[in-house]
Amino acid sequence: MRHLTKLLAVLAAFLLLTAACSESDDGESGDGATTTTEAVTDGDDSGGEDGDEATDSSGDEGGDSGDDEEAAPAGDSVVEMFAGEEWIFGTVPDAPVAADPSLEPVKIGMVNLENSPAGSYVEMRGATDAAITFINTELGGVDGRPIELVHCITEFSPEASQACAQEMVAAEVVALVGGIDITSNASFPVYEQNGLAQLGGIPANLVEQQSPSAFFFSGGTPGGMAAFMKHAYDNGAETVLIGHGEFDSFTSAANDYGAAVGRSLGMEVDVVSFPVVGADFLPVLSRAQQIGADAVLMLAADAACPQIMELFVDLGLRETSQLYMFGACALEEVVEAAGDNMEGVIFGSEGPSEQTTEGDIFDEVTAKYATMPAQATGTVGFRGMMNLYDVLLELGADGITKEAIREVVDNAVDRPSYWGHPYTCDGNQVPGLPALCAPQQTFMTVENGEIVLFGDWVDTPALFAAADIPG
């Protein structure tokens, strides 16, 4: 049992491979707008007192949609700090306007992995909830209608994921904002049968990446792999080693996408797998030495990151090779553990390489309105909610239906994405993975102990096309 729990935890950690890099922040207290339930499976309440009792995020009983929202006091709002600046919705308004609590709320769903031995990603919900409070308190909701987040906690089991999906249907949500749900292979058939779209989140498995009901503002690990290959090629690499955990979606990312792009660019690519539990990285990095790898791409996360970086330095590879790792290996706790071994490592990013108004607004909103941790993976949750809000605004208060939301996103071509690359959901951005709508990437590295963002957006769809990867 202990071995299984550890395995689940490591698999959960791998989901952070494409998460944006931010420092952890507990945030300050604010009014939430969340109805929270826990998945109910047969004969199990999954940790809740009654299993299906709704509570709002402040701990009060009931499932209010934030109907106590009031506009932020003059001079004490986020919008006033950025008034007149450009962002996804045009220009930031001059003054806050609250949603009308007497109007029917717009119900949005969210399924997220929390309070589990396999991992707890409350930051996703924390940032999403902060975004909704901001929308209801300062942006006027959707033409006055407040937004309500109906949230369900999954427990790393197909039964729990399916139960959460059924709760979303029963609650009559019009769409979902994505969280992290590793066993979503059991929930997506429910969404598909009921015409529900999920926008955003971190893609965890092949089922959801292939689902017509999922729309990720991400390229997942395939997007990161392709971008790393292009950067390595542009900097003179001829031989590349890919190391990846033995998990279906990572095996596919390494072989079907990363290696394929690298070889299409004319580089020699060697792929080595390692177990996700108790991995010994010496054979992997020794292989890099044997083939004279100019670049080493590692799909790893959590405690594995500093181990790999230390071994990479100890073997002298830093002098001859460039190490590439995903964003999860640039989180604060990893930075502290890795120390100087992190210098020069290149990480993937799905945000712009320059400071933006939208990034600054994220920081201010989560500091003001978050009632729980909201950084790290929270950036993904916040982006998903703001992009969904953009769709709701286009439809207007009277035009919001699950069908209308689906139609807008299905037809999105270079549609602006909050603090990210514009997204296109034509199903062709990543061959074979139609749910990945924005696979373009930038980079970050460590210089003198500081994270530095750099690079223009890498056109990963063009790299996939040139590699002739089958759809």
- Across the chain, which has 471 residues, the per-10-residue mean pLDDT values are 38 47 37 49 38 35 46 85 98 97 98 82 94 98 98 91 97 97 94 98 92 96 97 98 90 96 98 87 97 96 88 97 88 81 94 94 97 90 98 98 98 98 97 97 90 95 95 75
Identify the bridge partners of residue 415 per DSSP, sorted by sequence position. Answer: 423
pLDDT at residue number 328:
72
pLDDT at residue number 39:
55
pLDDT at residue number 16:
53
Is the C-alpha dihedral spanning 354, 359, 360, 361 positive or negative?
positive
d(CA 17, CA 204): 10
pLDDT at residue number 13:
42
d(CA 33, CA 134): 10
